[in-house]
């Protein structure tokens, strides 16, 4: 242990993965666990994407690729940005990596130096704060409330800025809350940032296609700050390709060059087969993501209603992604058979052991006394999960 570097010692284990593991352990013992802790679509990758992967193998795309990705992949990403987001990114502004998580890691490592501050609106995706720590930066957490739909206001942003601020990490649609910022709200952030030329935005748009509130808006579309925005995206959530590990970033050429230098030393280019499959995904039309979004919308309405009807669970309606993030503080302090539910960790353990439903404690996302419930599972299983939760929660006194 003492020989593990300080850098790694200060990293936390991923709590979403930990909860997933606990529910798998119970499942292995034959328990029927409904796992609502997962962060991936429950749909298989579409057939035309699988076909492209098979063809890539037959065509011997089995050698190293260029570090930032094949030219046809960069072209496909460039066209996607133009047609879906009205953004002009040429191949020199684009780099592919092993998942959006890897793209984020590249961008953070390249922009954040020891002592730099990174503004992270909370609730946040678990990985952000760990990557910032790894880069030697300081997380400046901006809290938000369920009553405000978990939104940071422009004023909150302004108050968090100091001379040390280097990056704002934005995520819309958001994991874990499903919050989606409107164009007007993003314009408010852009206006403030236009007065701070040394601050960059890393905009995580991985849930772009799972948006129930209308057209996706990117903060990169504001001209006054466009050159300081790094957009993170990928194929994992939009095309049900989480296992393929293909994400990408787009931004100023000098950022892409620096990311390429880092990736060239760390991993080289992403999987050749996944790149070819991703070209098919990105150029194959949007009928698959649209159909999947409709399924998630139906489930969003279902879980919002089911959770809202459970006494004591406070919910906000997610505008995107596939998570519900209820406030469960009204249960904290209650007990069952002499055991007190002190916080969200106890609450999730209670749900897992008594209802056999797995959810993730909000503490992992910087929001104690909340839980994250993923609705990336069938309508029937979701209905059953809430029935079980309602039953056991009624026993708390």
Ligand X SMILES: Cc1ncc(COP(=O)(O)O)c(C=O)c1O
Residues that bind ligand X (CB under 6 A): 39, 99-101, 125, 171, 175, 204, 206, 234, 236, 242, 247
Extended beta strands in 172-236, E state: 200-204, 229-234
Q: Which of 91, 171, 166, 161 is nearest to 128 (CA)?
A: 171
* 321 within 8 A of 173, measured Cβ to Cβ: yes
Q: What single DSSP character describes residue 352? A: I
Shortest separation between residue 58's beta carbon and ligand X, angstroms:
26
Tokens in use for 9? 């010692």
Identity of the residue, 45 or 236, whose beta carbon is nearer to ligand X in the bound complex: 236
Identity of the residue, 322 or 331, whose beta carbon is nearer to ligand X in the bound complex: 322
Identity of the residue, 222 or 239, whose beta carbon is nearer to ligand X in the bound complex: 239
Shortest separation between residue 233's beta carbon and ligand X, angstroms:
8
Shortest separation between residue 102's beta carbon and ligand X, angstroms:
6
Identity of the residue, 172 or 341, whose beta carbon is nearer to ligand X in the bound complex: 172
Phi and psi for 184 in degrees, rounded to 5? -65, -40
**What is residue 240's three-state secondary structure?**
coil
Shortest separation between residue 150's beta carbon and ligand X, angstroms:
14
Shortest separation between residue 125's beta carbon and ligand X, angstroms:
4
Shortest separation between residue 6's beta carbon and ligand X, angstroms:
26
Identity of the residue, 94 or 389, whose beta carbon is nearer to ligand X in the bound complex: 94
> Given CA atoms 254, 246, 230, 138 in this order, what sign does their dihedral have?
negative
Shortest separation between residue 169's beta carbon and ligand X, angstroms:
10
Identity of the residue, 118 or 396, whose beta carbon is nearer to ligand X in the bound complex: 118
Q: What is the DSSP string of 254-314?
A: HHHHHHHHHHHHHT-SPPHHHHHHHHHHHHS-SHHHHHHHHHHHHHHHHHHHHHHTSTT-B
Identity of the residue, 20 or 194, whose beta carbon is nearer to ligand X in the bound complex: 20
What residue is closest to ligand X based on CB?
99
The residues, ordered by sequence, that sit 6+ positions from 163 with a Cβ below 8 Å of its Cβ are: none
Place of tokens 């874990």: 176
Separation between Cα atoms, residue 315 and residue 307, nearest integer Å: 7
**What is residue 167's three-state secondary structure?**
strand
Identity of the residue, 107 or 393, whose beta carbon is nearer to ligand X in the bound complex: 107
Shortest separation between residue 256's beta carbon and ligand X, angstroms:
18
Burial 163-180 (b: 16+ CB within 10 A, else e): eebbbbbbbbbbbbbbbb
Whether the bond between 78 and the residue before it is cis, its omega within 30 degrees of 0, is no
């Amino acid at each position: 242990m003492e020989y593990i570097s300080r850098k790694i010692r200060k990293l936390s284990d991923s709590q979403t993965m930990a909860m997933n593991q606990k529910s798998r352990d119970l499942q292995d013992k034959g328990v029927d666990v409904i796992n609502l802790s997962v962060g991936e679509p429950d749909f298989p990758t579409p057939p035309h994407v699988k076909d492209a992967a098979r063809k890539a193998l037959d065509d011997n795309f089995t050698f190293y690729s260029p570090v930032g990705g094949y030219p046809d992949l960069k072209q496909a990403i460039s066209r996607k940005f133009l047609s879906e987001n009205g953004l002009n990114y040429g191949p020199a502004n684009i780099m592919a990596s092993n998942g959006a998580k890897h793209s984020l890691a590249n961008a953070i490592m390249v922009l954040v130096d020891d002592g730099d501050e990174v503004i992270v609106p909370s609730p946040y995706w678990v990985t952000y704060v760990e990557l910032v720590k790894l880069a030697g930066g300081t997380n400046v957490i901006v809290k938000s409330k369920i009553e405000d739909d978990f939104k940071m206001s422009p004023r909150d942003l302004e108050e968090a800025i100091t001379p040390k601020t280097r990056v704002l990490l934005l995520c819309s649609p958001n994991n874990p809350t499903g919050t989606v910022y409107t164009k007007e709200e993003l314009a408010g952030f852009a206006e403030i940032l236009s007065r701070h030329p040394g601050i960059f935005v890393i905009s995580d748009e991985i849930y772009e296609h799972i948006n129930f509130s209308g057209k996706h808006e990117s903060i990169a579309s504001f001209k006054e700050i466009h050159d300081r925005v790094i957009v993170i995206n990928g194929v994992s959530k939009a095309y049900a390709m989480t296992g393929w590990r293909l994400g990408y970033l787009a931004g100023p050429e000098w950022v892409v060059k620096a990311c390429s230098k880092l990736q060239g030393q760390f991993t080289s280019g992403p999987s050749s087969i996944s790149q070819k499959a991703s070209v098919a995904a990105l150029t194959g039309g949007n009928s698959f993501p649209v159909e999947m979004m409709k399924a998630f919308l139906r489930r969003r309405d279902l879980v919002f209603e089911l959770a809202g009807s459970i006494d004591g669970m406070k919910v906000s309606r997610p505008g995107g992604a596939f998570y519900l993030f209820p406030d469960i503080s009204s249960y904290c302090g209650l007990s069952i058979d002499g055991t007190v539910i002190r916080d969200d960790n106890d609450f999730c353990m209670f749900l897992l052991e008594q209802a056999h439903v797995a959810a993730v404690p909000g503490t992992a996302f910087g929001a104690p006394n909340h839980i994250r419930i993923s609705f990336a599972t069938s309508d029937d299983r979701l209905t059953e999960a809430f029935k079980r939760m309602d039953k056991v929660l009624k026993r708390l006194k």
